[in-house]
């Protein structure tokens, strides 16, 4: 799946909505100058370059676009917050989306045992969960990307 050009997203920098579902990241950026025939400016500025580098580095590191999407774990029309999951080996990558969320989330699809929970975008450790009680309390705006791996 190819994500739409990030410049066409809500704020022009929303890589998370493509990245978290396992899409190939897309952009229309130009460098070192604007395309004179384009309707808008897609110039890669130094400020944008910082954001672009972070997202494309994560993309290259995780390569979630090559891994199986676990579409049977959540119902995006019913479950809140909107949640997507991708399996890579023994690790599950979860993407949660909401304008603002404060409360419990459930990490579905875990096998038996204990797991480390890590927000790999913000580099925050959420500690451990067990497959018997796979919920944690979180607070986020826009998105939360979690890497959940066996202990």
Q: Is residue 32 domain-shared with residue 55, that is, in the same domain?
A: yes
pLDDT class for 8, splitting at 50, 70, 90? low
- Residues 54-109 have pLDDT tens digits of 989 999 999 999 999 999 999 988 999 999 999 999 999 999 999 999 999 999 99
Domain count, the chain: 2
Q: Which of 101, 7, 116 is nearest to 55 (CA)?
A: 7
Over range 18-29, report the average pLDDT: 84
Mean pLDDT in residue range 123-138: 97
- Average pLDDT, stretch 136-140? 98
Same domain, 117 and 73: yes
Distance from C-alpha of 151 to C-alpha of 128, rounded to nearest angstrom:
8
Gap between the Cα atoms of 35 and 38, Å rounded: 5
pLDDT at 52: 87
CB 145 within 8 A of CB 123: no
The reply to whether omega before 52 is within 30° of 0 (cis) is no
Q: Are residues 60 and 72 in the same domain?
A: no
Domain of residue 98: give its range. Answer: 68-150
How many CA atoms within 13 Å lie on the side-chain side of 120?
22
**Helix, coil or strand: residue 33:** coil
Instruction: Name the phi and psi angles at 19, rounded to 5.
Output: -55, -50
Query: Distances from the Cα of 38 to the Cαs of 13, 15, 30, 34, 42, in angstroms?
Result: 18, 21, 10, 8, 8
Same domain, 76 and 114: yes
Q: Are residues 54 and 73 in the same domain?
A: no
Same domain, 116 and 136: yes
Average pLDDT over residues 126-130: 97
User: Which one is predicted more confidently, 3 or 76?
Assistant: 76
pLDDT at 111: 95
pLDDT of residue 21: 84
Boundary (domain end) residue, out of 43, 65, 87: 65
Residues 85, 121 share a domain: yes
């Amino acid at each position: 799946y190819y994500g739409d050009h990030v410049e066409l997203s809500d704020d022009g920098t929303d890589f998370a909505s493509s990245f978290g579902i396992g899409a190939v990241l897309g952009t229309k950026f130009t460098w070192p100058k604007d395309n004179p025939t384009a309707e808008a400016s897609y110039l890669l500025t130094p400020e944008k370059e910082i954001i672009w580098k972070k997202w494309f580095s994560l993309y290259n590191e995780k390569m979630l676009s090559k891994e199986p999407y676990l579409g049977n774990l959540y119902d995006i029309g019913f479950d809140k917050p909107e949640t997507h999951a991708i399996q890579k080996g023994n690790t599950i990558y979860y993407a949660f989306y909401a304008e603002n969320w404060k409360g419990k989330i459930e990490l579905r699809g875990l096998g038996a045992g204990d797991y480390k929970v890590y927000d790999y975008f913000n580099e925050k450790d959420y500690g451990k969960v067990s497959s018997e009680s796979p919920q944690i309390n979180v607070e986020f705006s826009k998105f939360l990307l979690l890497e959940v791996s066996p202990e």
